[in-house]
A and B are shown apart, each in its own frame.
Chain A
Amino acid sequence: MHGIAHVSESTDYERTPPLTVWNTGKDDISLISIQKSFKEAPRYSCYHKKGQKKGYKGIHSVPYLNRSMASSDKKSGPTPAIGPGSTLPGKPTTLGSKLIESGAMMLQSMAPVRQMNLHACTFALYGHDLSRQIETHHFIQRINQDFLQCAVFDSDKPSARLIGVEYIVSDNIFETLPSEEQKLWHSHAYEIKTGLWTLPGMPELLQDPEHKSLTKTYGKFWCTWQVDRGDRLPLGAPSLMMSAQAVDIARVNPELVKRRDRKYGVSRGDAKESRVEMAEPEWINPNADYWKQHGKGFAIDVVPVEMKSSGALI
């Protein structure tokens, strides 16, 4: 499905989007896009010719949008926005920006973000590919005894990238959810009892009460930035994440765990002992950890549709 209203330069074009090659030049962008492979694809380009108005030329029609573009389980073609090590592109923060931020800090109340008072480090698995595993840092706010909301980062340093959001609910709340909803959630018992989930900086004994209440919870975690596959910027649709489980394909790579434990001085022995005593949840809802019973994960697609509107469109 594509919407072509009127094309001024070329005529029809093929169903796949044009391959673009970026030439970003030294300081500024000169020729932006070159069409390769598709002779009749629509073209837009921007020139820095003297005296000529900057802007996008050559498109007078509604550009073609791919059905299910940017799916969470598909990787894009080559682009400067993907690279080894997922190094963040862009310039260092300027003094000017820092000054503005200091000004804002003095005048504004950051009340919502000040509510996060718990930092947990754990591991998450991609819901469409459990072999892809990442170390995550959850910054958690408890709303009430049954519900927590977490901002998830890829590290606990100031340079940490915000990679998603997780919501955590008690088993009581979970049981009230419709089964279609429950499929999107994962259980926490295994990762807590095995010490994958830890509260950095807190002695193990002090962590106990928190873990007791969390063992019976379920989580729903959307990842918006797949840093582990080289995305230098947040690309694609959000990805549903799952938790480690006592099943081969969902055990976390021991190297990942060792590296994390070394970093935070977590001793495997300590963690497991005190937690082994914790009550197992009597029952974990079989709708959670959907892949376990069904061998299927989930992906999110973004599809073009007609916009419902009351007035002016873009």
Chain B
Amino acid sequence: MNKMATSHVNVPGEPTETGTALLETATGTIQGFQPINNIHQHLCAFHFYAHDMTRQVEAHHFCGHLNEDVRQCLIYDSPNKDARLIGIEYIVVESLFLTLPDDEKPLWHSHEFEVKGGYLFMPGVPGIVERQDLKQVCKTYGKVIHFWQVDRGDPLPLGIPQIMMALTRPGQLDENIAKDVEKRFGVSFEEQREQRKDLSGPDHGIHPLANAAGRGLKTELREVDIPPATSMPRVFV
């Protein structure tokens, strides 16, 4: 059973004290935030857990280019000020995806279906501009990890990280979630599908190992022995 992604569970804790708030206003003005300022784009899409397609999450990506071929995104559960930081996505072009070890490729998913299907969109941006970028995104692969399972009502980020996947076929996305997002953002996935007919996916097709090679994936925690102390910690400079 899916909860609507906008379940308003409050994060436990006391309201921020005035002193703290004032100080953080100061730091906000004085310090530098260049990595954050590199984030220029808001994308909305849907993720599901790599071991459970029935658990689906509305994911708001705030993305920046590291270069033309690699993007990195912070994922929040809403586009609002009180949004919770729930995950990370990395996006790479096909040629870089192909350099990944075979062990790694299953953790990545293709974007072709969700872009062509109209499910991935840039809120507030007119279609014609949006499509300029989606033309590129359509050919990329992404890796998504979520740390906070807001869809099951967790008030805090509990447990271990979850590998997430993206839509790859019709019939996967929960109807209610779809309608809710369409309504709140004033979009129509069907309309978008029409407009995006000329977009195409990766040049070599979707790699058979991507999207967990059609299987499910789960993360597990394992205890390891800590290596004994050396005289000086190693540093890879």
Contacts and interface: CB of A to CB of B under 8 A. Distances in A.
A96 B227 CA distance: 49
A110 B42 contact: yes
Between B23, B52, B96, B226, the greatest number of chain A beta carbons within 10 A of the residue's beta carbon is seen for B226
Interface in A84-138: 88-94, 96-97, 100-105, 107-119, 128-133, 137
A305 B16 CA distance: 43
A160 B233 CA distance: 24
B222 A300 contact: yes
A29 interface: yes
A81 B17 contact: no
Contacts of B224: 73, 128, 296-299
Interface size range on A against B:
35 or more
**Interface SS, A side:** loop
B47 to A, nearest CB: 14
B209 interface: yes
A146 interface: yes
Contacts of B106: 65, 69-70, 302, 304
Interface in A169-203: 169-170, 172-173, 176-177, 181, 184, 199-202
Contact of B222 (A105, A184, A225, A301): A301
Nearest to A76: B101
Contact of A113 (B36, B147, B215, B217): B36
A88 to B, nearest CB: 6
B226 to A, nearest CB: 5
Interface in B208-234: 208-209, 211-230, 232-234
B28 interface: yes
A310 B169 CA distance: 12
B9 interface: no
B234 A167 contact: no
B64 to A, nearest CB: 8
B129 A103 contact: yes
Contacts of A7: none
Nearest to B10: A144
B35 A300 contact: no
Nearest to A230: B236
A158 interface: yes
A295 interface: yes
A107 B79 CA distance: 13
Contacts of B36: 113, 116, 139, 151
16 contacts: A3-B215, A56-B207, A71-B222, A90-B93, A100-B41, A101-B41, A162-B35, A165-B85, A220-B157, A224-B90, A233-B100, A237-B161, A248-B229, A253-B233, A309-B52, A310-B53
Interface of B: 11-17, 19-21, 23-28, 30-42, 50-54, 60, 62, 65-70, 72-74, 76, 78-85, 87-88, 90, 92-93, 95-96, 98-104, 106-107, 122-126, 129, 132-133, 136, 143, 145, 147-148, 156-161, 163, 168-172, 203-205, 207-209, 211-230, 232-236
Given A22-B99, A28-B95, A147-B11, 5 more contacts: A79-B101, A104-B41, A142-B24, A220-B157, A233-B90
